[in-house]
Structure formats: structure tokens, C-alpha cells
């Protein structure tokens, strides 16, 4: 029995050494590049609490949210490693709703639904029976470009643990599309406010009005926002740019001479300040609230290199 125990104790170090050589004492230089998807369990999506008023169920957004990206790294000195990351992810939800015509016919505020067919206290409500029911959709997109700085703790030549931070610029886009009917290519390039000629838009006033009525309508529209007269629908794009910070720990395993796997666990944090949202990339929204993009992240990487 003692001989067997002695034999096993002598054999165990040889087996461990056969699995992988110890990490060399001298400085190690190398690098790698590969595909690195990031999975984020977001605490919330900016604007999601207000999307229910559009008829959308925000719980249908992807969870975890996936950012498809690429990552590269290189050793710069000793056990310090420098790298970069760039990725883009998006998720979309949509809904087609039933429509009812509604007319206020009583003194009560709000929509009074009938409790029976002959209910005299309800408002006038008639169902729309056409085929052009409105469609509403929302798309959430996240773009990230960042640098990576980390410190490496080697275990074996082929296995190491590291800790660091991913720091860079993030951008959020929230697009809301509302339309009815089918999209037609030519109509998508039509001016929504009228006919364009010689660089001028001619806004049409219904020909059924008398000249006096037309003058009154034109006067009432002076200084007001003109309503679109044609068009397929409306698209609202909200965007915000912010500094993104993500501390993490990672495990890297070199499975072949020039190929390996890497797994990172971290926490993402980014904040868009009040009034820093933009409409259609150009118009600031002064009363926009503070918004955060934060949550637990898992980043996997299949890389080529050392």
C-alpha cells in the first residue's frame, strides 16, 4: 500500500507537467485577434418605460442583449496587456394594433367603454374594418469602441487569469417607426409636406374651400408646425453618446499553438446626462432625462494568436 502511495505521489507532478509547461520566467510577448460577442443583462433600456404608451411590450427586447464585435490584444511590457474592442448590437420589437373610431358623447373625461350594446352613458366607439391597421416598431442599438488594459497572472504557459478594464465611447440609438399600409419605393422619396419645384415646397390647401375660408386657414397655420400631407409613416431616431467603462476578470486558454479561447466576466456602466439626447442626430432634446446603460456582462472570444 505504501509503495502504491509513493508511486502515485511521484507520478502526479509528472502528469501535471505533461498537461502544460510552467509559465516562463522571462518576459512573454505576443498577441491575438478574434471574434468576441458580448452578452449584457441590462438593468433597463432607455425609454422603455414610455414605450408601453405606443402599444409595445418592451419585455420582448432581447435579454441578454448581444453585441457582436471583434477584439485584439498584445503584450506591451511584462505582464501588462493592451487591446481594443469594437462591436454593434441591436434588438427590435413591433406590434400591429386594432383601431376603433372614438367620439366624445358625454360629460365624462376619457374614453367611456360601453358596458352593453344600448349603454347610453358610453362614448361613440366604432371598430375600423379596413386593412391598413397601424404598425409600430422600436429598435434599440448599441455601438461600442474601446481600448482594453489588463494585468496578466499566469498559471501555466497555456492558462492565465487577468483583470482589467474596457474603456471607450458608446452610442445608443432608439428608433421608433409608426406607419400604416405597405411601403412603396416611390412614395418613400415623396416630400411629406407637398410638391417641390425650384427648391420651394408648395403646401396644398383643399380646393373645396372658398377663398375666404382658405385665407382663414392659411392665417391660422402661420407660425405653427405644418402637418404632413402625404407619406408612408414617421420615424423618430433618438441617440446619445457617452463614456463606457467595464471592469472585468478573464480566463485565457491557449488550446493550440496559434489558437485559443477567452472568457471575461464584468459589469458595464455608461451614463447619458440630462439634455444630452439628440433627435435625428442633429436636434438636442433639452428636457431629456438622465439615462444609464448598465448590467452584468459576459464576453467570449475565439482568437488566433498567442
Q: Same structural domain for residues 34 and 122?
A: no
> In angstroms, rounded to a whole number, what is the distance separating the alpha carbons of residues 66 and 63?
8
Give me the pLDDT at residue 25, please: 44
Per the domain annotation, does 199 fall within a domain? no
Q: Provide the CA 259 distance to its chain's centre, in angstroms.
A: 31
Predicted local distance difference test score (pLDDT) of residue 251: 93
Query: Mean pLDDT over all residues of the chain?
Result: 83
Same domain, 54 and 125: no
Q: Residue 118: which pLDDT band, with cuts at 50, 70 and 90?
A: low
Is there a domain that residue 286 lies in? yes
Indicate the Cα dihedral angle 185, 186, 187, 189, nearest 10°: 100
The verdict on 166 and 90 lying in the same domain is yes
Residue 20 lies in a domain: no
CA 102 and chain centroid, separation: 36
Residue 51 lies in a domain: yes
Q: What is the pLDDT confidence band of residue 143, given thresholds at 50, 70 and 90?
A: very high
| Residue 58 DSSP symbol | G
Residues 287 and 253 reside in one and the same domain = yes
228 grid coordinates: 404632413
218 domain-assigned: no
Mean pLDDT of 286-304: 92
Q: What pLDDT shows up at residue 150?
A: 94
Same domain, 35 and 122: no
Say which residues have a Cβ less than 8 Å from residue 125's Cβ, sequence separation at least 6: 100, 101, 102, 103, 111, 113, 114
Q: pLDDT at residue 241 above 70?
A: yes
Q: In this structure, are 158 and 295 located in the same domain?
A: yes
**pLDDT tens digits along 176-227:** 988 777 666 776 777 778 888 888 888 888 888 888 888 888 888 888 888 7
Q: How many domains does the chain have?
A: 2
Residue 103 forms part of a structural domain: yes
Q: Are residues 85 and 152 in the same domain?
A: yes
pLDDT of residue 192: 79
- Taking each continuous run of H as one helix and of E as one strand, the counts in the chain are 4, 15
Residue 70, C-beta contacts closer than 8 angstroms, at least 6 positions apart: 33, 34, 35, 36, 85, 86, 87
Model confidence at 230, pLDDT cuts 50, 70, 90, reads low
What element of type H or E holds 49?
Answer: helix 48-51
DSSP 63: S
Write the CATH number for 260. Answer: 2.40.160.20
Do residues 146 and 89 share a domain?
yes
| Secondary structure element (H or E) that encloses residue 267, with its range | strand 259-272
Residue 215 lies in a domain: no
Q: Note whether 44 and 125 are same-domain residues.
A: no
Could you tell me if 34 and 304 are in contact, meaning their C-beta atoms sit under 8 angstroms apart?
Answer: yes
pLDDT at 101: 79
Q: What percent of the chain has pLDDT over 90?
A: 40
Q: Domain limits at 268?
A: 29-94+137-178+238-306
pLDDT value of residue 145: 96
Q: Would you state the pLDDT for residue 20?
A: 47
Same domain, 81 and 53: yes
Do 47 and 117 share a structural domain?
A: no
Q: Are residues 56 and 78 in the same domain?
A: yes
Average pLDDT over residues 4-14: 56
Per-residue model confidence (pLDDT) at position 300 = 93
Q: Is 168 part of any domain?
A: yes
Q: How many whole angstroms separate alpha carbon 53 and alpha carbon 51? A: 5
Amino acid at each position: 500500500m505504501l509503495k502504491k502511495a509513493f508511486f502515485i505521489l511521484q507520478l502526479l507532478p509528472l502528469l501535471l507537467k505533461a498537461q502544460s509547461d510552467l509559465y516562463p520566467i522571462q518576459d512573454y510577448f505576443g498577441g491575438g485577434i478574434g471574434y468576441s460577442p458580448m452578452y449584457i443583462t441590462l438593468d433597463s433600456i432607455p425609454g422603455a418605460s414610455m414605450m408601453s404608451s405606443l402599444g409595445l411590450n418592451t419585455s420582448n427586447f432581447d435579454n441578454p442583449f448581444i453585441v457582436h464585435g471583434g477584439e485584439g490584444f498584445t503584450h506591451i511590457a511584462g505582464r501588462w496587456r493592451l487591446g481594443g474592442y469594437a462591436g454593434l448590437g441591436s434588438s427590435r420589437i413591433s406590434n400591429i394594433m386594432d383601431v376603433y373610431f372614438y367620439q366624445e358623447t358625454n360629460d365624462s373625461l376619457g374614453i367611456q367603454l360601453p358596458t352593453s350594446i344600448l349603454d347610453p352613458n358610453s362614448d361613440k366607439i366604432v371598430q375600423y374594418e379596413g386593412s391598413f391597421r397601424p404598425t409600430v416598431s422600436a429598435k434599440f442599438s448599441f455601438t461600442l469602441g474601446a481600448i482594453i488594459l489588463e494585468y496578466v497572472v499566469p498559471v501555466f504557459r497555456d492558462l492565465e487569469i487577468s483583470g482589467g478594464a474596457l474603456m471607450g465611447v458608446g452610442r445608443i440609438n432608439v428608433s421608433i417607426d409608426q406607419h400604416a399600409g405597405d411601403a412603396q419605393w416611390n412614395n418613400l422619396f415623396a416630400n411629406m409636406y407637398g410638391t417641390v419645384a425650384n427648391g420651394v415646397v408648395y403646401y396644398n390647401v383643399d380646393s373645396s374651400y372658398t377663398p375666404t375660408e382658405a385665407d382663414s386657414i392659411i392665417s391660422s397655420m402661420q407660425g405653427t408646425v405644418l402637418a404632413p400631407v402625404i407619406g408612408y409613416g414617421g420615424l423618430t431616431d433618438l441617440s446619445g453618446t457617452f463614456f463606457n467603462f467595464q471592469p472585468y476578470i478573464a480566463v485565457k486558454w491557449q488550446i493550440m499553438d496559434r489558437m485559443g479561447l477567452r472568457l471575461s466576466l464584468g459589469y458595464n456602466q455608461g451614463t447619458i446626462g440630462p439634455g444630452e439626447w439628440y433627435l435625428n442626430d442633429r436636434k438636442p432634446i433639452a428636457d431629456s432625462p438622465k439615462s444609464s446603460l448598465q448590467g452584468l456582462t459576459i464576453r467570449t472570444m475565439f482568437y488566433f494568436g498567442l
